[in-house]
């Protein structure tokens, strides 16, 4: 099983670097999100790249098209492997994010967030969205039409995303919990092997690894389960 697991470094700088030094860049990639990027900025990306890690910059851009264009361009300048935007930012914003990568010879993969895996049907209904499945497919269709490379979606959405939009269109899946581990704040979860079975290309697995007493072993156990 190739390098399929992405580890979110939702940690402070010291903890993130300590964890990265325990893990092998040949078997996992690193995700830098709002917490670590806000506290430590681009230097943490550079340091992890020097250690050989591919970086998914998970800042989920969602703003007016020009702002997202510049933000995605800045992310690509940092040499990250993957970057993302919210599909709900709309067609013009998605097209601008794609256009931002036009002049890069080796651009990052550009991924759209559909519906956060922490949102349950009830919490979606609170914000006026009554059909979760339709919403995921509608946003995925928009992202594909605008030329993005794939979506972030839950494992249970992955099979229909692949069926409707093709095997090549990437599915990046958070909300992964090995059986028996705590759900934390996630709602729509699946085990690593279910996610692989559903067709996920990359699994984002955080606290079951980062919160483990032995993160290296926890990662190896997950690979054992999926291979």
- The residues annotated as belonging to the active site are 60
State how far the Cα of 140 lies from the Cα of 150, in Å rounded to an integer: 8
* Torsions phi, psi for 42 (to 5 deg): -60, -20
Please identify the residue of the shown chain whose CB is closest to the bound ligand C5P: 206
State how far the Cα of 223 lies from the Cα of 55, in Å rounded to an integer: 20
Angle at 3 between CA 32 and CA 218, to 5 degrees: 75
State how far the Cα of 117 lies from the Cα of 12, in Å rounded to an integer: 23
State how far the Cα of 35 lies from the Cα of 207, in Å rounded to an integer: 14
Contacts with ligand C5P by CB under 6 A lie at: 8, 10, 33, 113, 116-118, 152, 174-175, 184, 186, 204-207
Instruction: State which residue, 66 or 183, has the beta carbon closest to ligand C5P.
Output: 183
Count, in order, helices (H) and strands (E) of the chain.
11, 8
Number of Cβ atoms within 10 Å of the Cβ of 167: 10
Angle at 70 between CA 61 and CA 107, to 5 degrees: 85
Angle at 95 between CA 37 and CA 142, to 5 degrees: 100
Instruction: State which residue, 104 or 217, has the beta carbon closest to ligand C5P.
Output: 217
Please list, in sequence order, all residues whose beta carbon lies within 8 angstroms of the beta carbon of residue 182, skipping any fewer than 6 positions away. Answer: 207
Q: Hunting for tokens 């999100």 — which residue is that?
A: 33
């Amino acid at each position: 099983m190739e390098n399929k697991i992405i580890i979110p470094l939702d940690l402070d700088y010291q903890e993130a670097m300590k964890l990265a030094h325990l893990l092998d860049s040949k078997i996992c990639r690193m995700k830098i999100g709002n917490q670590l990027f806000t506290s430590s900025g681009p230097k943490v990306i550079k340091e992890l790249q020097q250690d050989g890690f591919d970086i998914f910059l998970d800042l989920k851009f969602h703003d007016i098209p020009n702002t997202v264009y510049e933000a995605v361009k800045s992310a690509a300048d940092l040499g990250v492997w993957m970057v993302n935007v919210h599909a709900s930012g709309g067609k013009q914003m998605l097209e601008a994010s794609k256009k931002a990568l036009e002049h890069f010879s080796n651009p990052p993969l550009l991924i759209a967030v559909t519906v956060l895996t922490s949102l349950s049907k009830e919490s979606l209904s609170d914000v006026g969205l009554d059909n979760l499945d339709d919403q995921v497919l509608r946003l995925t269709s928009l992202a594909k039409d605008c030329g993005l490379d794939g979506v972030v979606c839950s494992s249970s959405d992955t099979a229909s995303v692949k069926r409707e939009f093709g095997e090549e269109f990437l599915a990046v899946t958070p909300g992964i919990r090995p059986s028996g581990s705590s759900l934390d704040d996630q709602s729509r979860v699946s085990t690593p092997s279910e996610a692989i079975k559903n067709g996920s290309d990359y699994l984002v697995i955080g606290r079951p690894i980062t919160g483990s007493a032995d993160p290296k072993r926890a990662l190896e156990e997950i690979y054992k389960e999926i291979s």
